[in-house]
A and B are shown apart, each in its own frame.
Chain A
Amino acid sequence: MAIRLLRVLALLCACAAWSACDEKLSSIAGPTPSLEPTFASIQHDIFESTDSAGRAACTNCHTNVGRNPSAGLNLAHDLAYDQIVNMASSRKPGAVRIVPGDADNSYLVQKLEGKSGIVGNRMPNNGPPYLTDGQIMILRRWVAIGAPRN
């Protein structure tokens, strides 16, 4: 009896290990299939790249190359993290661009979502297209886990 029971349990455990499942992040990420909730990925796929849906790269305007950065936000590769995390907005007094752990109160998220109360236009400024719900979900997750410099 004990041996039979052990065999059954071993079979069940093997089945469970074999069948551990998950959804694919790429199915959420839409036009940026390699997008992940890390700063490096967000910087590459959102800030610095125009995606396959035609949404413009943020660095088209938020750069100091040949122009003044829009809204004083410079998303140049080596400056971007310090420009957004715990950094006050230059347009809306009291607002902070990224509040680690609090996506709802992060002004950058509000601008990308086009929330009421933002100053100026929803971003990207020449949208639509804007970020998809899935892209924003991934950005929100990065903020929710503390906006690490990863």
Chain B
Amino acid sequence: MRFLTGANVKRLLTLVLGAALLVPAAVRAQPPADDPAALKLAEPDFTLIALPTSLRLPKYRSAFRVTHRFLRPLGSGDFGDLVSDFFGLDNGAQTSLELRFGIVPNGQVGIHRTGGNKTIEFFGQYAAVRQSAGRPVDVSALVTIEGTNNFKDSYSPAIGAIVSRTVGDVAAFYVEPIWVNNTNALPTQLADDNNTFLVGIGARVRVSPTVYLVGEAAPRTGYKPGVTHGSFALEKRVGGHVFQLNFSNGFGTTMAQIARGGPVENDWYLGFNISRKFY
């Protein structure tokens, strides 16, 4: 797993993004369906791995997601140790639950609760621009606020945009500039930086009718402890479910956690996401 550094993940994503430019024009020209309830083959889920996508949620419909990030570093010990620990499944996990709901056309809100410092995140997302013949990208606005200790301490709001482009039914690419406030747990008087500006980049590529490869990273500036978030995954769509097996260099699933990055360079962790659309 040593080659899977944050820098290498970013290089892989850059290669995938470049490959999108080589997709035949006939494939790129396919207009996306405008019905938010219609299955979008290139963008089947509301998240990549931890970062959000532009997928719209129909009004008065909902979706649910559960995530696990197992705490055992995959590189700890030899392969026999890893098998003995059943690839980390024996070692506990940071879990999260998420529910989102469409409140207006193109607009959704949600709540995400993770065991990491008992963090609760509320979020809202509005699809302001949709990809069409005259518009090359989707643009969604994103607002989140999270607090640790069950939303009693250390509040971190975030504001950003999700810019995405789907390439036919084959792939979707994302650039997500996001500013996260109060990522540093120390008071401003004791810190050089209290905020993080990150640019989430990611891609999802459909490699068979229901199987996808997914990757994402979040290069950042400002307060940036730890190692820059990076993650890749293999996922399978089954009806309204998406089952994802992922590998990440950290445990973050909220914006402030992503901004703070992973704990240690070159440590990677197994995890999974399961999501379900209720429409």
Is A8 touching B155 in the complex (CB atoms < 8 A)?
A: no
Is A16 touching B159 in the complex (CB atoms < 8 A)?
A: yes
- Give the interface SS of chain B, mostly helix, strand, loop or mixed: strand
Closest to B139 in A: A5
Is B182 touching A23 in the complex (CB atoms < 8 A)?
A: yes
Taking the complex as formed, is A24 at the interface, i.e. its CB lies under 8 A from any CB of chain B? Answer: yes
A-B contact pairs, 5 of them (CB 8 A): A9-B141, A12-B141, A12-B143, A19-B181, A36-B189
- Using a CB–CB cutoff of 8 Å, the interface residues on chain A facing chain B are 1, 4-5, 8-9, 12-13, 15-16, 19-25, 27-28, 36-37, 137-138, 141
Nearest 8 pairs of A and B residues by beta carbon: A19-B157, A21-B182, A25-B187, A21-B155, A16-B159, A23-B187, A141-B190, A22-B188
* Bound-state Cα–Cα, A44 to B190, Å: 19
Closest to A16 in B: B159
Known: A28-B190, A36-B189. 11 other contacts (CB 8 A): A5-B128, A12-B141, A12-B143, A16-B157, A20-B182, A22-B182, A22-B188, A24-B187, A37-B189, A138-B190, A141-B189
Is B181 touching A20 in the complex (CB atoms < 8 A)?
A: yes
In the assembled complex, the CB of B207 is this many whole angstroms from the nearest CB of chain A, namely 35
Is A16 touching B179 in the complex (CB atoms < 8 A)?
A: yes
In the assembled complex, the CB of A14 is this many whole angstroms from the nearest CB of chain B, namely 10
B189's contact among A1, A15, A16, A25, by CB below 8 Å, is which?
A: A25
Is B187 touching A21 in the complex (CB atoms < 8 A)?
A: no
Is A21 touching B128 in the complex (CB atoms < 8 A)?
A: no
* Bound-state Cα–Cα, A16 to B156, Å: 10
CB 8 Å contact bits of B123-157 with A (1 = contact, 0 = none): 00010110000000000010101000000001111
B190's contact among A1, A21, A25, by CB below 8 Å, is which?
A: A25
Taking the complex as formed, is B194 at the interface, i.e. its CB lies under 8 A from any CB of chain A? Answer: yes
> Which residues on B sit within 8 Å (CB–CB) of A27?
187
In the assembled complex, the CB of A34 is this many whole angstroms from the nearest CB of chain B, namely 12
> Which residues on A sit within 8 Å (CB–CB) of B182?
20-23
Is A15 touching B187 in the complex (CB atoms < 8 A)?
A: no
Is B190 touching A37 in the complex (CB atoms < 8 A)?
A: yes
* Bound-state Cα–Cα, A27 to B129, Å: 43
> Which residues on A sit within 8 Å (CB–CB) of B188?
22-23
